[in-house]
Structures are given as structure tokens and as C-alpha cells.
Structure 1
Amino acid sequence: MRKPSDTMRGHRAGAALAALLAGALTLTACSGGDGKKEADEGGGGATGSTVTLPKLNGTELEVAAVWTGTEQANFKKVLAEFEKRTGAKVTFVPAQDPIINFLGSKIAGGQPPDVALLPQPGAIKQAVEKKWAKPLGPDAVKELSKNYSQGWQDIGKVDGKPYGVYYKAANKSLIWYNAPVFENAGAKEPKTWAELLTAAQAVYDSGVTPFSVGGADGWTLTDWFENVYLSQAGPEKYDQLAKHEIKWTDPSVKQALTTLAQIWGKKDYVAGGADGALQTEFPASVTQTFTGGDQPKAAMVYEGDFAQVNIGETKAKVGADAKVFPFPSVGSTAPVVSGGDAAVILKDSKGAQALATFLASPDAATVQAKLGGYLSPNKNVPDSAYPNETQRTIAKALIKSGDDFRFDMSDQAPQAFGGTPGKGEWKDLQDFLKNPKDVAGAQARLEKDAAAAYGNGG
């Protein structure tokens, strides 16, 4: 697999992307509404292009992913479009985290799905090592080369061979906030960590808890850490920690955890306190921020662009009631962390290859983009496909970043450390949320679990 340092090249480019996001998101947040003008002027790529697919009448396929709720429902509409074009019948198979374990049980039972959406590059590598994954065929590779930057192509490769189509991306460096609460508190969108703490105090003084944290899902906590660490320690250290070339007992980790504790350990700054946060799953962490008008359970919630799916389940309108700002700079530069889900073929057939080809095309991504709460790394998805200005801004910023991004650190780790509920980094950061004063203990547990999962001592 392409190493993080190979595909994630620029701190300066990351700074430029953060600046672009900061300016553009401020504009869109102030303007409100959906705005047709920007959609019409968008330069997101070719429109009207279609991918050629074979006729697959009588073919039955299964696609597995961990997606639930609206996200699953929207993806099923993409599969319905594939069915319409090919005549195939596609069944969505709900998977559980960690998906590698889920797939292992299906394969052991002789019933693997044809295609699986894997949320970690580490999982793609494991699927290849276990000889489950099949290489992408020439048609899918052709779509990839036409529609994706080299970085997004490379992150789906193992030993230089393409296995993954990154159908879905995420900008994981965003904080969503309840606009009426900020207005009542006189709080302003922060650009630095110090300004974030100032805004939080203003919100707290107005009578609203500053932050909602979905601590029941450990991955939200790893995302918090990664943004603080990337901005504070810098990209070189980030890449080293991602590969466990430095230990989690490193002083840079201590500094990041100590910084996180300024929020996680501040009395009454987290909705429900630590115990409440650890019982709050991610969807609820979003909806409780935008339910209750200007008296919600919390004023802000950190997470990626996909939080819009959950905001859509409330009465809040993105760009008006629900606004967003880039994750503030903790060090000299604001962080830009990306994530994503890649389609990987497990049963090499004409139908499975055709589905991977379709998912690599702008046609598939455009279907889901129009439904909201989705971001594609496909550079030929037209900007006009995204349903509001905020989403268009985030999408354009992702495409303009090209190869200059940092991929989610925990997603690069072995799943035993970075992607398993109740274990590894997820559990260690949940324990730290419960006791943010124990920085040294958290570091020791993280290092012990990382060393075991990576199979080295750092």
C-alpha cells in the first residue's frame, strides 16, 4: 500500500485548503439558503458524461457496508440506478464494525458479498493479505484514472496494484454550530484553538453547554485527536505516528492529549458530562445540537461533512440554523484530515467489476450527491449536484486539494488498534474522555495497544 508520506505531501497546501474553507464557509454560512448562482458557475467537472455498462439481466449481486439510516437509504438509490442501467439485482447487506471481522465470518461461511465498502486503507490491505480482495479490472481502472487525483487512486492500491475505488470521501476538519445559540451568546466563529475556547466560554456563560461529543462511537474521539495532533505536531510527526514509527509515549502525543483535556476535562463543557458523552452515539450527538431551537443540549458538535445527514433529521436548515467552520488551528496551521470508503471486489465476476466501474464514475456519485450529506473525491462530479452552497464549498475545496491531504490516522492503522469498538485506540480515548487528567496513563495504554497491533515496539 502506498505509504502516507507518499500521497500526502503538503503542509503548505493543507494550509491553503484550510484558508479556502475558512473564507468560503464564512461566506456560505452568512448567505444562508441554497443559492443557485454558485451551482451554475461551479467548475466541478464534466456534466452529462455516462459510463458504459454491460447488460446483466439475471445477475444477482450483494454489496456490504456499515452504513445505516439515511446514508444507507441514499446509497440504495445509487444501487437502484445501477440495476436500472444493467438489469442486475443488487442486495445491500448491512455490516457491523469492524467490517473485516464481519467479512471474515461471511467468507468462512462460504457467502462473501460481491463487493464491500471498506472504511480504512488498513482494511483494504488486510483484505488483500488474506487473499479476499480481487484487483480492479481494466474498465474500473480506466474510470479511476479519468476521475480521481493520483493520491486518491494510490490510497486504494496495495503493492502498486489497484484494489479500492474511493466512492465516498469525508472532510473531517469541521465544527458545526447552532447559529441562534452563537448569536445569543455573542460568540464568533473561531480560527484558533484559543478563540474556540473563548467562544465556548461565551456559550457556557449564556446558559448552553458548549460541546456535544458522540463518545459512544470511539472513532469520533480519534478524529478529535487527529485534528489537534496534525495542527499542533505537524504533518511529519503525523505520518510517523500513523505508521507507529514514533511511540504514543512521545511528548507530542502528551501535548495533544493535554490540549484536548482543555475541552474534555472542563466541567460542564460536554453535554451530559463524560458519562453522558460515552452513552451518546454520533447521530444523537448531532441531532441534540440542533434540536430545541436556541436551547439545545449543546451548541457545537465536531465531525465531518457527513453530519449534514443527521442535521437533516432535525428542523434546522444548513446555512441558516446550522452553520459550520473549519477546525481551528492549534499550531501554526489549521488541520485538514480526510477519510473515505472504498469499494473492493471480493467475488471477481462481470457483475462485480461492472459495479466497481459504476462506482468509480461520476454518474454514481452524482446520484448520491444530489441527496445531500455526501462528498465524493471524484473530480468529475459537477458542483451543481450538491444541494446547498455549504456542501458545494466543501466539495470544491476537497477537489482543489488534489493529492495534498492527510488521511484519517486511525483508518491507516491495523483494525485491531484503529478500527475496533471497545478495543485499541477507540477504547483508550474513551477511557481518556472519562479521565482527562490521566494523560500519562492514556499514553501508556495507547502505546501498549499500538505495539501489539502493529507488531513492533515503535
Structure 2
Amino acid sequence: MMMRRRTTLLTGCTALTLALAATACGGGPVSAGGGDKSLSGQTVTVAGVWSGSEQKNFQKVLDAFTAKTGAKTQFVSTGDNVSTVVGSKIEGGNAPDVVMVPQVGVLDQFAKKGWLKPLSPTAQQTITADYAPVWKKYGSVDGTLYGLYFKAAHKSTVWYSPNALTQAGVKPPKTYDEMLKAGHTVSDSGLAAFAVAGEDGWTLTDWFENIYLSQAGPEKYDALATHKLKWTDPSVVTALTTLGKLFKDKQLIAGGQKEALNTDFPGSVEKVFGPKPEAGMVYEGDFVAGVAHDQFGKTIGKDANFFPFPAVDGGTAPVVSGGDAAVVLKDGKNAGAGMKLLEYLATPEAAAVWAKAGGFLSPNKKLDLASYADDVTRATAKSLVGAGDSVRFDMSDQAPAAFGGTKGAGEWKLLQDFLRDPSDPKGTAAQLESAAAKAYQG
């Protein structure tokens, strides 16, 4: 969202543990109007967090739907606060037909407010037959399936300029401590180690989640994600302390903390891959590749590459994922055509449109890997589709939006405050617990 949690992997990545997929339904082909222009004269309004190159590439998918069905489409970018924007549109009698929901917590919220239509039998059959159980789980609320995951993200990738690392004489690290050491070597060579997008609080939650999953382990991660474990737990304080060592090291962060707090996600990618590089590395999801390629003309695998987020303190290297789920609103003026769009998004045909454009991973196992534009993405997609079950969904995306998905509030704001002053991890943990408790009770 702007650009929020997005998609790609790399060759040699730790097994991306997710068996995903979404295809044309198991018992027969999904029909989005059958190619007979049966939806001519109708307009489907779609709301989502995407902007920039992501919005442009999703529009190509919508245009393909139009060519197939005759339905016109209109995309409305919500920015990060998708929950607030969609809620106000519903209250104002101007609900979109389809929303691309970037957070499990928001999907849960929408369903419990009675805003969503259960998926059609065709879509449900598709997901049951072709999606890994984890995606059906995250698309369901109280046993009812509402969301179709169209776009998946691998959130455990550290992107770097091969030229910058080569000039510094360092290789992609295997552990978190090695990564910080390599960062100091890059800094000594004239560039900062990392560009940090502190203006976008969601990037900071991703830093925390990768450290926490590796350091504390999957069981505690699951417990914290559902607030069965309090944020005041010592494991949280330990992870914040680890993250704070990076935040307070002016050699490691381009421009220091102040500049990081004024750098958004696209800006952080520009600091590494733009015309005037300021840093050698940027941590974020595979969707970094789309920005590096589309906005700065980088060849993925040559001018821009990544290494898996490394293991922390002897733990297992983390694999954090995310995704954008298509849902249909009951109050949309054309919910029927909206459901047809959702059925189309389930097909490999739809996924191939964005796959060819880049900056995208599909959880559709019937999508031909040749559809992807480069070897790095192709290897990532293969790993994603064929993976196991150790992956964990983005923690902040599982939380209520008030805590895990609202600009200027909750976890986003508190981690921005922590970036500004990381001297009191225990105090920050207490503030996080207070905000989480309030949001989960609400």
C-alpha cells in the first residue's frame, strides 16, 4: 500500500514455506463472462492500496478483464488506510464492488461488520482445489471464505546493489551479525549500508517480524500475532533490542534516523538503485524488484539482486509472507460483476498479465513459470508454490487495523518512535502492549 507489502524471491532463497496456488477451478475452467462480452455496459469499481508501478500493472489485469468480458473497470487507490477509506465510502453510499485487502486483520474486520459477500461456488471450488490450506485459512472468517489471494509477497528478502557489495569486497551474509558487519564494510567504502523507509511504518513492522520469527521461533510468533502472548514478553524486548542496534548506528542507515523517518518505501529503493546511490542495501519484500526495474531501469539478477533475510542469534532464517486478497462488498452497486472479476483473478490467465510486467508473485500453481520476466522471479515463484508450511503471514497484517495497519497509529507509529529513539526497548514494548490490548478489545 502507496506500496505496502508486495512480491518476488531469489535463486537460492531459504525454502519459502508456503504451498500456495489459485487457478481456474478444479472441476472446470473459471469463466469471467466466457469471452462473449456478457458484462458489456457494466462497470466494476475496485479499491486497493496500490499506486505507482503496482497500480499501473494491476490496471493491465483489469484491462484484460475488460477485453474478455466487456465490463469497464475503475480503480481507486486508497493509500495505506484502506479500512478507513472503504468504511467511509460504504457509509456514504459509494461502496466499491471489489476491494484488494492487504491485511488479514482488515479482511476479518470487514467480514465481522457484515460488509462482505461469501465467495461464489466457482471461486470456492478454485481455492479448495488449488490453494494451499494456509491461503484458504487467511481468506476465511469463522469458517466462511471471503477472500481470494491474487498477489503474494515474500517479505524476507534483502535487496542489494551487486556493484556496491563487490566494491566493498563483501558477499551476501548468512547471519544477522554477519549482515551488520558487512554493512559496516559497505559504509567504510563510501555508501551507507541500508536505506530504511521509516516514513512508512509498515516497513518497520517487517524488520521487527523477521527478527522476531528467527529469534523467538514460530510458536511465539503465532502467539504474539494473535495477542495470546503480550508485547511485554521478554522475547519482544530482546527483538526490539536487536533492531535498535541497527536503528541507532549512523554508519548503517543512510542519512541517519532523521532522514530515514523522511524516506518512504519508493524513496528507500531509489537510495540504492536510483541515479545517485546513497546505500548498498534495502530490506523489503520481493516487490522491491518491480520498483528497481520499472522506475530505475535495473536488470533484476544483474543490477539488483537479493539474499534471504539472515538467521538471527542461531535461529532459523525467517520466511515472512503477505498477500493481497480480493473481496466483494455487499453494498457495491455491481457486486455480481465484481464476483466475475474475482473469478477471473483466480485464473492463470489473469496472473500471467502481471507476471509478465514484473514485480509480482502469484499463488497460482497453474501459472506457467515462463510467464515471469526474469530468472530471479521465476526461481522465487517456483520456491513459493512448491514450499512447505513453515512460512508465517505478516504479523501486523493479522492484527486489527487500529494496531497493525493504520498510518500514524498503533504499531506503525510506535516503531517510528522507536526508530527516532531506540534507547528504551522495554518502554516501547509496554507501549505496544497497551496499543495492542486496546485494539484487540475493540
**Both structures adopt the same fold (TM-score exceeding 0.5):** yes
Contact kept? 2:184, 2:251, Cα under 8 Å = no
Per the alignment, residue 189 of structure 1 pairs with 172
Of the three residues 272, 291, 303, the one matched with 1:310 is 291
Structure 1 residue runs without a partner (length 5+): 1-16, 25-43
Q: Give the alignment's Cα RMSD to 1 decimal.
A: 2.0
1:296 counterpart = 2:277: yes
1:375 counterpart = 2:365: no
TM-score (norm 2): 0.91
Instruction: Give CA-to-partner distance per residue, 1:31-75, whole Å, 9 cap, x none.
Output: xxxxxxxxxxxxx9999x963222211111100001001100110
Helix, strand or coil: the match of 1:210? strand
Instruction: Give CA-to-partner distance per residue, 1:12-41, whole Å, 9 cap, x none.
Output: xxxxx99951599xxxxxxxxxxxxxxxxx
Shift of 1:441: 1.8
**Matched AA of 1:179:** P
**Matched AA of 1:301:** V
Counterpart-to-counterpart distance in 2, 1:180 and 1:20: 19
Of the three residues 379, 384, 399, the one matched with 1:413 is 399
Instruction: Give CA-to-partner distance per residue, 1:418-437, whole Å, 9 cap, x none.
Output: 00001000000000001111
**Matched AA of 1:324:** F
1:350 counterpart = 2:342: no
Moved more, 223-232 or 90-99: 90-99
Per the alignment, residue 30 of structure 2 pairs with 51
Per the alignment, residue 76 of structure 1 pairs with 59
Contact kept? 1:327, 1:335, Cα under 8 Å = yes
Instruction: Give CA-to-partner distance per residue, 1:241-281, whole Å, 9 cap, x none.
Output: 00111111111011111111221111231111111000000
Counterpart-to-counterpart distance in 2, 1:81 and 1:258: 48
Per the alignment, residue 371 of structure 2 pairs with 385
Spell out the pairing of 1:251-262 with structure 2 (5 A cutoff): 251-262=234-245
Spell out the pairing of 1:109-120 with structure 2 (5 A cutoff): 109-120=92-103
Counterpart-to-counterpart distance in 1, 2:286 and 2:226: 26
Counterpart-to-counterpart distance in 2, 1:322 and 1:96: 27
1:93 counterpart = 2:72: no
How many corresponding residue pairs? 418
**Matched AA of 2:62:** L
Instruction: Give CA-to-partner distance per residue, 1:289-342, whole Å, 9 cap, x none.
Output: 0124xx721110000011112101114321112110000000321000000010
Counterpart-to-counterpart distance in 1, 2:338 and 2:277: 45
Contact kept? 1:78, 1:367, Cα under 8 Å = yes
TM-score (norm 1): 0.88
Of the three residues 178, 181, 185, the one matched with 1:198 is 181
**Matched AA of 1:305:** D
Counterpart-to-counterpart distance in 1, 2:131 and 2:205: 27
Per the alignment, residue 13 of structure 2 pairs with 21
1:210 counterpart = 2:193: yes
Counterpart-to-counterpart distance in 1, 2:157 and 2:394: 14
Identity %: 51
Of the three residues 216, 222, 227, the one matched with 1:233 is 216
Moved more, 146-155 or 187-196: 146-155
Spell out the pairing of 1:130-279 with structure 2 (5 A cutoff): 130-279=113-262
Counterpart-to-counterpart distance in 2, 1:45 and 1:342: 11
Helix, strand or coil: the match of 1:355? helix
Shift of 1:208: 1.1
1:440 counterpart = 2:419: no
Per the alignment, residue 3 of structure 2 pairs with none
Contact kept? 2:14, 2:317, Cα under 8 Å = no
Structure 2 residue runs without a partner (length 5+): 1-8
Of the three residues 46, 53, 56, the one matched with 1:63 is 46
Helix, strand or coil: the match of 1:91? strand
Contact kept? 1:174, 1:324, Cα under 8 Å = yes
